[in-house]
Amino acid sequence: MTADQGGGPLLRVEDLVVEIPRDGMVSTPVDGVSFEVGSRESVGVVGESGCGKSLTALALLRLHPRGAAHIRRGRALFRGEDLLAMDIDRLRKWRGRRISMVFQEPMTSLNPVFQCGDQIAEGMQVHLGLSRQQARDRAISLLEEVGMDHPARRAGQYPHELSGGMRQRVMIAMAIACSPDLLLADEPTTALDVTVQARILDLLERLQEERAMSLLHITHDLALVSQRSNRILVMYSGRIVESAKTAQLVAEAAHPYTLGLFACRPRLGDRRRRLSLIEGSVPDPAHRPQGCAFHPRCPFATARCGQERPEMQSLGAGHAVACFEAERVREAGRWPDA
Amino acid sequence: MPEALLEVRDLRKVFALRRGILGRRAGETVAVDGVSFTIGVGETLGLVGPSGCGKTTIGRCILRLIEPTSGRITLAGEDLLALRGKALRRFRRNLQIVFQDPYGSLNPRMTVGDAIAEALEVHGIGSPRDRQDRVVGLLERVGLEADHARRYPHEFSGGQRQRLGIARALAPRPRLVVADEPVSALDVSVQAQVLNLLQDIQLEFGVSYLFIAHDLAVVQHLSHRIAVMDRGRVVEEGLAEDLVSSPRSAATRALLESVPRLGG
Amino acid sequence: MAPLLFLTRVLLTVPSVGLVLRPRMAWAILSGERGGGARLLVVLALVMAVGAWKGAGARWLKAGYAHLTEPTARAGLFLVILLHAAAVFAPLLTSHSPVELGDTVTERYLAPSWDHWMGTDLLGRDLYSRVLHGARVTLAVATLSVILSVVIGTTLGAAAGWSGGVVDALLMRFTDLVLAFPRIFLVLLLAALTTPSPFWIVVVLGTTGWMGVARLVRGSVLQIREQDYVLAARTVGVPPLQLLWKHVLPAAVAPIVAAAALRVGNTILAESFLSFLGLGITDPNVSWGMLIRGGRHTMLDAWWVSTFPGLAIVVTVVGYNLLGDGLRDAYDRRLGELGPRED
Phi-psi domain of A211 (left: phi exceeds 0; alpha: psi -120 through 50; beta: other): alpha
Give yes or no for a contact between B227 and B46, defined as CB atoms under 8 angstroms apart.
Answer: yes
Tell me, yes or no, whether C22 and C57 share the same domain: yes
Instruction: Please report residues of B whose CB lies closer than 8 A to that of C236.
Output: 92-93, 96, 118-119, 122, 168, 171-172
Which of B172, B21, B29 lies closest to B97, judged by CA?
Answer: B172
How many angstroms separate the CA of residue C342 from the nearest CA in chain A? Answer: 7
Read off the pLDDT of residues C30-56 as tens digits, 9 standing for 90 and up.
555 555 555 566 666 666 666 666 655
Instruction: Answer yes or no: are the C-beta atoms of A34 and A15 closer than 8 Å.
Output: yes
- Sequence letter at residue A136: R
Q: Cα torsion for C238, C241, C245, C249, to the nearest 10°?
A: 110
Which pLDDT does position C339 carry in this prediction? 37
Under an 8 A CB cutoff, do A262 and B218 touch?
no
Q: Are residues C3 and C102 in the same domain?
A: no
Give the C-alpha separation, A248 to A316, whole Å.
11
Q: Taking residues A222-244, what's their average pLDDT?
A: 93
C230 neighbourhood in chain B, CB within 8 Å:
107
d(CA A197, CA B215): 10
* Whole-angstrom distance, CA of residue B194 vs CA of residue A281: 13
What pLDDT shows up at residue C273? Answer: 86
**Cβ–Cβ of B220/A164 closer than 8 Å?**
no
* Residue C197, pLDDT score: 78
**B143 shares contact with chain A (CB less than 8 Å):** no
Q: What are the chain C neighbours of B89 within 8 Å (beta carbons)? A: 237-239
Residue A72 has phi, psi (to 5 degrees) of -80, -50
Domain A2-236, second-level architecture? 3-Layer(aba) Sandwich (3.40)
Q: Where are the domains of chain A?
A: 2-236, 253-338
Higher pLDDT, B108 or C117: B108
Give me the residue from A220, A269, A279 closest to B244, CB to CB.
Answer: A269
The whole-angstrom separation of Cα C329 and Cα C68 is 8
Determine the pLDDT at residue C338: 44
Asked, for residue C179, whether it belongs to a domain, the answer is: yes
Contact state of C229 with B63 under an 8 Å Cβ cutoff: no
Are both C117 and C61 inside the same structural domain? Answer: no
More confident residue, C337 or C220: C220
pLDDT score recorded for residue B24: 67
Cβ-proximal residues to C142 (8 Å cutoff; 6+ apart), any chain: C205, C264, C267, C268, C271
Flag whether C309 is in a domain. Answer: yes
- Inter-chain touch B261–A197, beta carbons under 8 Å: no
State the nearest Cα–Cα gap between A160 and chain B, in angstroms.
15
Helix (H) or strand (E) holding A57: helix A53-60
Contact between chains at C343 and A65 (C-beta distance less than 8 A) = no
For residue A248, the number of C-alpha atoms closer than 13 Å in the C-beta half-sphere is: 18
Of C173, C231, C237, the CB nearest to B65: C231
The widest CA-to-CA distance across chain A, in whole angstroms, is 66
Give the CA distances from residue B244 to residues A144, B81, B124, B183, in Å, rounded to whole numbers and listed in that order: 34, 34, 44, 20
Quote the pLDDT of residue C218: 93
Contacts of B68 (CB under 8 A, 6+ apart): B11, B12, B13, B32, B61, B81
Does B17 contact C at CB distance below 8 Å?
no
Radius of gyration of chain A (CA): 21
CA distance C235 to chain B (A): 6
CA distance B26 to chain A (A): 17
Same-domain status, C147 and C281: yes
Q: Are residues C343 and A55, on separate chains, in Cβ contact within 8 Å?
A: yes
Q: Which residue of B has its CA nearest to C234?
A: B65
Number of structural domains in chain C: 2
- So what's the ipTM on this one? 0.85
* Neighbouring C-beta atoms of residue C140, cutoff 10 Å: 23
**What are A253-307's pLDDT values in tens digits?**
999 999 999 888 888 877 767 888 888 888 888 889 999 999 999 999 999 999 9
Chain A contact set for B159 (CB, 8 A): 281
User: Is residue C274 domain-shared with residue C159, that is, in the same domain?
Assistant: yes
CATH of the domain at C191: 1.10.3720.10
B81, B73 Cβ separation under 8 angstroms: yes
**Do the domain assignments include residue C78?**
no
Can you say whether residue A208 is alpha, beta or left, with left for phi > 0 and alpha for psi between -120 and 50 degrees? Answer: alpha
Q: Are C63 and C124 within one domain?
A: no
The alpha carbon of residue C248 is apart from the nearest alpha carbon of chain B, in Å, by 9
B33 backbone φψ class: left, alpha, beta (φ>0; ψ -120 to 50): beta
> Are C342 and A105 inside 8 Å of each other by CB?
no
Domain co-membership, C107 together with C29: no
User: Which among A8, A59, A10 has a CA at the least distance from the CA of A31?
Assistant: A59
Residue C315 placed within a domain? yes
Q: How far is CA B61 from CA B31, B69, B181, in A?
A: 11, 10, 16
Other Cβ atoms closer than 10 A to A190:
17
* Shared domain check, C178 and C122: yes
Q: Which whole number is the average pLDDT over C155-171?
A: 90
Determine the Cα–Cα distance for residues C51 and C56; give it in Å rounded to an integer.
7
pLDDT at A127: 86
Q: Tell me how far CA of residue A246 lies from CA of A187, A223, A263, A289, in angstroms.
A: 18, 11, 16, 29
CA distance A337 to B194: 17
- Strand duo B225-230 + B233-239: pairing: antiparallel
Instruction: Give chain C's contact residues with A (Cβ, < 8 Å).
Output: 339-340, 342-343
Instruction: Assess A110–C contact: CB distance below 8 Å, yes or no.
Output: no
pLDDT in tens, C216-274: 999 999 988 888 899 989 888 899 888 898 889 888 888 888 888 888 888 888 888 88
Whether A46 contacts A31, CB under 8 Å: no
Among all residues of chain A, which has the CA nearest to that of C339? A108
CA distance C337 to chain A (A): 12
String of b and e for A106-141 (b: at least 16 CB within 10 Å)? beebbeeeebbbbbbbbbbbebeebeeeebbbbbbe
Instruction: Read off φ and ψ for residue A157, nearest 5 degrees.
Output: -95, 160
Chain B partners within 8 Å of A163 (Cβ)? 51-52
For A107-165, how does the pLDDT look when each residue is reduced to its tens digit (9 = 90+)? Answer: 667 888 888 999 899 888 888 888 999 999 999 999 998 888 899 999 999 888 888 88
Total H helices, total E strands in chain A: 13, 12
- Whether residue C82 is contained in a domain is answered as no
In tens, the pLDDT along A175-198 reads 998 889 999 999 988 878 888 888
pLDDT value of residue C274: 84
pLDDT below 50 — which residues of chain B? Answer: 264
Query: Looking at the structure, do residues C59 and C100 belong to the same domain, yes or no?
Result: no
Per-residue pLDDT, averaged over A52-62, amounts to 91
- Which pLDDT score is estimated for B264? 47
Residue C335 to chain A, least CA–CA distance (Å): 13
Instruction: Test B93 with C169 for CB contact under 8 angstroms.
Output: no
Backbone angles phi, psi at B22, to 5 degrees: -90, -5
Are B190 and A262 within 8 A, CB to CB? no
Q: Could you give the CA distance from residue B131 to residue B149 in angstroms, rounded to a whole number?
A: 12
A178, A182, A186, A190: CA torsion to nearest 10 = 80
Please tell me if residue B9 touches chain C, with a CB cutoff of 8 Å: no
Q: Sort out which chain C residues have CB atoms less than 8 A from B88's CB and list them.
A: 237
Q: Work out the minimum CA distance from B159 to partner chain A, whole angstroms.
A: 9
**Owning domain of residue C31:** 1-67
- Asked if A49 is an interface residue toward chain C (Cβ–Cβ < 8 A), one would say yes
CB contact under 8 A, A222 and B188: yes
Q: Which domains does chain B have, with CATH numbers?
A: 4-258 (3.40.50.300)
Residues from chain B contacting residue A49 (CB–CB below 8 Å)? 157-158, 187
In a domain, C81, yes or no: no
Phi first, then psi, for residue B243 (nearest 5°) are -65, -35
Q: Per the domain annotation, does C73 fall within a domain?
A: no
Cα four-point dihedral sign C277, C280, C282, C285:
negative
Chain B: list its partners (3+ Cβ pairs within 8 Å): A, C
- Of the candidates A246, A268, A278, the beta carbon closest to that of B189 is on A278
Q: Do residue C331 and residue C265 come from a single domain?
A: yes
Chain B residues within 8 A of C233 when measuring between CB atoms: 107, 118
Beta strand B4-19 pairing with A99-102: unpaired
B256 versus C62: the higher-pLDDT residue is B256
Residues in B closer than 8 angstroms to C251, CB to CB, are: 108-109
Do both C19 and C157 map to the same domain? Answer: no
Same domain, C296 and C182: yes
Give B-chain residues touching A276 at CB under 8 angstroms.
Answer: 192
pLDDT digit string, tens, across residues C172-217 = 999 999 888 888 888 888 888 877 778 888 888 888 889 999 999 9
> Is the Cβ of B114 closer than 8 Å to some Cβ of chain C?
no
Chain C interface, best mutation among B107, B170, B189, by max C CB count within 10 A: B107
For B43, which residue in chain A has the nearest alpha carbon? A272
The answer as to whether C87 is a domain residue is no
